[in-house]
Chains A and B, each alone.
Chain A
Amino acid sequence: MSAFNAIGEEREIDRDEYTPGVEPQPTWCPGCGDFGVLKALKQALPEAGKTPEEVLTVTGIGCSGKLNSYLDTYGFHTIHGRSLPVARAAKLANPDLEVIAAGGDGDGYGIGGNHFIHSARENHDITYIVFNNEIFGLTKGQTSPTSPKGHKSKTQPSGSAKTPIRPLSMSLNAGASYVARTAAVNPNQAKEIIKEAIEHDGFAHIDFLTQCPTWNKDARQYVPYVDVQESDDYDFDVTNRAEAAEMMRETEDVLNEGTVLTGRYYVDEDRPSYTEEKRAVGELPDEPLAERYFDDDAEWERSYDLLERHT
């Protein structure tokens, strides 16, 4: 018998269950792209058959970090850049949980960049949504790792001398097995992509373009956008690493020229998730470790039984 009966519960799920009763109205600015992520999640989660209490949403710091204040699941609002290591461990401790990590572009590609690379490399079975608005919002408009070259801000008064990071290429090279880009202005695609990411067994990375109407007024609002799967101008195989890499590079290049390309870029259903890999080498129990602590009949090994080697 499970100690976690919210997990795997079969029932009708109303989208409203994901709206908290106490703080239903987000404090994001009017027109903020973050609303788009929240809305897409509220649609995707019930469609994927997930109930609020079997989901753990782990966020970083920034406007994006407030996501789980407005999405009524189990939530862990961590610290800047550290959502992924917290999320990974929760998944290992209880692989039956649906774990979603989220944060901004500074959070994920800047301060948390190392965790991003290693989480993708290890292919943890979690969904990672990066709210990419090409700016630091909550600290009032500084240049971020995804800000275009030449971007002027109070901390880069002469314009940034740095080329922006390539989030999709970085993700692919690091080992993510599902890589997509969507935009707040494209709610249907966003919902579908989130749903696919949740259902994907492995590290699913979504670079989510979220316009910042307050601090990034000069930037495009990511319209018009193009869905690379639907457009006749682009033809590539999402399961082919080389073709995906080329398409990602082009997508990253043209964003700063005003062309917003979105869609699925890479999908590898064959790569085993970290949970499977770790079980295969005998270093992850078959049953969720968290269950054992609630099992009164569980037998606990003792150090006393290890002493022979010391006598």
Chain B
Amino acid sequence: MSSDELIWRIAGGSGDGIDSTSQNFAKALMRSGLDVFTHRHYPSRIRGGHTYVEIRAADHKVQSRGDGYNFLLALGDSFARNPQEDAFYGNEEIKPLSENLDELREGGIIIYDEGLISEEDVDALDLEARAEENDWHVFPMDLRGLAREHGREVMRNTAGVGATAALLEMDLEHIEDLMSDAMGGDVLEANLEILHEAYDTVTEEYDFEHDLRAPEGSHEAEQALLSGSNAIAYGAIDAGCRFISGYPMTPWTDVFTILSQNFPDMGGISEQVEDEIAAAALAVGASHAGVKAMSGSSGGGFALMSEPLGLAEMTETPVVLIEAMRAGPSTGMPTKPEQSDLEHILYTSQGDSQRVVFAPGNIEEAYEQTRLAFEIAWDYQLPAIIIYDQKLSGENTNVDVDFFDREPAPDLGSTLTEEELREAAHDNSGKFKRFNYEDAENGVASRSIPGQKGGRFLATGNEHSPVGHISEDPDNRVAQMDRRLEKLESIREDLDSRESSTQTYFGDETADYGIITWGSSQGAVEEAVERLNDAGHSVKGISVSDMMPFAEADVTEFLESVDEAMVVEMNATAQFRGLLQKELGRFGEKLTSLLKYNGEPFEPAEIVEGYEVNFVEEEREPTAQVRIEPAAGD
């Protein structure tokens, strides 16, 4: 007997090893042949504070966290602060249990560590009555005691995993293998003992009245478990990027860390610098000197990058910047996802924007579009930005290993060699016409690199003549501006002419209703569309990646084909809907919005409900913490 899907939530305090335990358990599920998807919820704290990771596993592709969950392993918070009466942060010891009850599905399982969570606190939750009401199966276990008996207290996570496996009737083989990969000696031995002891205790001593079992599945090809941050970093590596500069900021730090750890072995360079102005300026400087370079940050840090970003546009220096959004404004909620930096990324820095912006919707797209960003940036000599968020950054899913079996693409695009420079146009004093609008193709004038013979020119943030001299001549200004903007039109044509679109479509092609989304909300929308169609509705969806130059043709075609559409995004002011209307200049009366900005990503059921409220039973209010924004003029 196996169930359709498992959504296992491991909850504890920050610093309790929730992350690494969940990572290994997700891998074990993947190795057993399942598709997995993880969702991480954590506070902006080093030690203590309620945190959880959810792992959804099924025998079919899972693209979102799902709705609620069905298995809770509540470890207690070993770094909890002593609760005082009316403490602002409440009783943290009980939170891994108490905070997670509302979303637990009917028939769900709870294991909690009675070694850390006191009986008194559990009684206060009225757990027994709630369990009865919801048909929950509750297993209090002294995980801490069990861990202490065979090893150390911190190994209680292992005891929890052992108990989980027993209740789900899972084989321990993959879990044991992963433990052996990660540790050795006495530590491994102690952990294995704890794992088995917990497994055996549960199997022998508990009555199984629950229906939930681990799903069963198989893969046709070898799988790898990766996060969005891994995918971006790997896309950069395969695009030949070997220079990254940055300043730490959650959640962008993940990509910075991955590349900083890999670059030394690849002859690459990573620089942690004094601030984000410097970080982006270094990437521009490295690119100017002939290297494929990138930088990035999250909202607040990216604000500091506005200046170098504009410099890259004006000097036509290729560079890739990435921005990992989190809830704003200002410091906002540092560890919570939001899609509220879209307008910031599109328009920050003075003057008319001359940049490319991609918003990948899942892990494969994060890899593909990072590669694409480098290709476009170096071919067309402008900044290309990947905008993603805390959600995509930290969620893990399985991908075919073969997906990454690709040729590297280190080519510098429209950069000349010394030999080619000899044939290129120079002014009468021998300066290379780096910004030559006369024989530019698609707006692109070829570049040279300092140190090359016959290539010297001046790059400047001022408007400039073909060799780079500062110029305020009106004719030159218009010619240069038009040439730079022509590059964006050329990029749009280039992207539209490619075999595969960067937009992602799902659902019933002939549907009258549409759901439009962008970035990391894609998975939840995809699943919602599938469910709506299964329930007899006729719906289709599009997830848009090309923010600038905007995917005008693709989105126009989609919107023309439906009567009404709902725009789904994680922000409070419907930024993407605003962009649609600005770029397309119509469809305002067709577009309603479903907005969420409470710090949690969409669950598919919330989108289904939003659809029903919008298009089926319009008198109803949504039950989820979302907001419906009616169409303009509605």
Residues in A lying within 8 Å of B, measured CB to CB: 3-7, 20-23, 52-54, 56, 58, 61, 66, 68-69, 72-79, 82, 84-94, 96-97, 114-115, 117-118, 278, 282-285, 289-290, 292-294, 298, 300-304, 306-307, 310-311
Q: Which of B235, B242, B277, B469 contacts A82 (CB 8 A)?
A: B277
**Residues B220-275 near A (CB distance < 8 A):** 222-226, 230, 233-235, 237-238, 240, 242-243, 245, 262-271, 273-275
B290 and A53: CB pair below 8 A?
Answer: no
Among B265, B291, B310, B451: residue with most chain A CB under 10 A: B451
B431 and A5: CB pair below 8 A?
Answer: no
Interface of B is mostly: mixed
In chain A, what residue has the closest Cβ to B407?
A302
A86 and B284: CB pair below 8 A?
Answer: yes
B450 and A94: CB pair below 8 A?
Answer: yes
In chain A, what residue has the closest Cβ to B231?
A303
Task: Note all chain A residues with C-beta closer than 8 A to B556.
Answer: none
In the bound complex, what is the Cα–Cα distance between A290 and B415 (angstroms)? 12
A302 and B238: CB pair below 8 A?
Answer: yes
Are A285 and B455 CB-contacts (below 8 A) given A77-B461, A85-B281?
no
Task: Note all chain A residues with C-beta closer than 8 A to B307.
Answer: 79, 82
In the bound complex, what is the Cα–Cα distance between A294 and B455 (angstroms)? 15
In the bound complex, what is the Cα–Cα distance between A181 and B240 (angstroms)? 43
In the bound complex, what is the Cα–Cα distance between A78 and B282 (angstroms)? 12
Q: Which of B233, B269, B410 contacts A293 (CB 8 A)?
A: B410
**A165 CB to nearest chain B CB (Å):** 18
Task: Note all chain A residues with C-beta closer than 8 A to B418.
Answer: 3-5
In the bound complex, what is the Cα–Cα distance between A88 and B269 (angstroms)? 12
In chain B, what residue has the closest Cβ to A74?
B450
In chain B, what residue has the closest Cβ to A278?
B269
Task: Note all chain A residues with C-beta closer than 8 A to B279.
Answer: 85
Task: Note all chain A residues with C-beta closer than 8 A to B408.
Answer: 300-302
**B494 CB to nearest chain A CB (Å):** 22
A6 and B281: CB pair below 8 A?
Answer: no
Task: Note all chain A residues with C-beta closer than 8 A to B264.
Answer: 282-283
Task: Note all chain B residues with C-beta closer than 8 A to A56.
Answer: 289, 450-451
A72 and B431: CB pair below 8 A?
Answer: yes
B283 and A89: CB pair below 8 A?
Answer: yes
Are A92 and B286 CB-contacts (below 8 A) given A22-B429, A75-B457, A293-B240?
yes
In chain B, what residue has the closest Cβ to A282?
B264
* B333 close to chain A: CB less than 8 A: no
In the bound complex, what is the Cα–Cα distance between A22 and B223 (angstroms)? 60
**B121 CB to nearest chain A CB (Å):** 39
**B287 CB to nearest chain A CB (Å):** 8
In chain B, what residue has the closest Cβ to A51?
B453
Task: Note all chain A residues with C-beta closer than 8 A to B243.
Answer: 89, 92-93, 289
Among B225, B289, B290: residue with most chain A CB under 10 A: B289
B458 and A6: CB pair below 8 A?
Answer: no
In the complex, given contacts A53-B456, A74-B451, A76-B285, what are 12 additional A-B residue pairs having Cβ atoms less than 8 angstroms apart?
Answer: A4-B451, A6-B453, A74-B455, A77-B462, A82-B277, A89-B245, A89-B281, A283-B269, A303-B234, A306-B234, A310-B230, A311-B401
In the bound complex, what is the Cα–Cα distance between A23 and B467 (angstroms)? 11
**B530 CB to nearest chain A CB (Å):** 27
* B634 close to chain A: CB less than 8 A: no
Task: Note all chain A residues with C-beta closer than 8 A to B265.
Answer: 301
In the bound complex, what is the Cα–Cα distance between A268 and B243 (angstroms)? 30
A82 and B288: CB pair below 8 A?
Answer: no
Q: Show 7 A/B contacts (Cβ-Cβ < 8 Å), sorted by A.
A: A75-B457, A79-B307, A85-B273, A301-B266, A303-B235, A306-B237, A311-B225
Q: Which of A66, A89, A285 contacts B285 (CB 8 A)?
A: A89
Are A304 and B405 CB-contacts (below 8 A) given A93-B269, A94-B450, A311-B222?
yes
In the bound complex, what is the Cα–Cα distance between A181 and B310 (angstroms)? 34
**A50 CB to nearest chain B CB (Å):** 12
Q: Which of B224, B286, B289 contacts A311 (CB 8 A)?
A: B224
Q: Which of B275, B284, B292, B310 contacts A89 (CB 8 A)?
A: B284
B240 and A300: CB pair below 8 A?
Answer: yes
* B470 close to chain A: CB less than 8 A: yes
In the bound complex, what is the Cα–Cα distance between A68 and B270 (angstroms)? 29
B459 and A77: CB pair below 8 A?
Answer: yes
**A245 CB to nearest chain B CB (Å):** 23
In the bound complex, what is the Cα–Cα distance between A82 and B280 (angstroms)? 10
Task: Note all chain A residues with C-beta closer than 8 A to B222.
Answer: 311
A96 and B451: CB pair below 8 A?
Answer: yes
In the bound complex, what is the Cα–Cα distance between A53 and B242 (angstroms)? 24
Task: Note all chain B residues with C-beta closer than 8 A to A52.
Answer: 456
In the bound complex, what is the Cα–Cα distance between A282 and B260 (angstroms)? 12
Task: Note all chain B residues with C-beta closer than 8 A to A5.
Answer: 418, 452-453
In the bound complex, what is the Cα–Cα distance between A77 and B465 (angstroms)? 14
A90 and B311: CB pair below 8 A?
Answer: no
Are A21 and B429 CB-contacts (below 8 A) given A4-B449, A77-B462?
yes
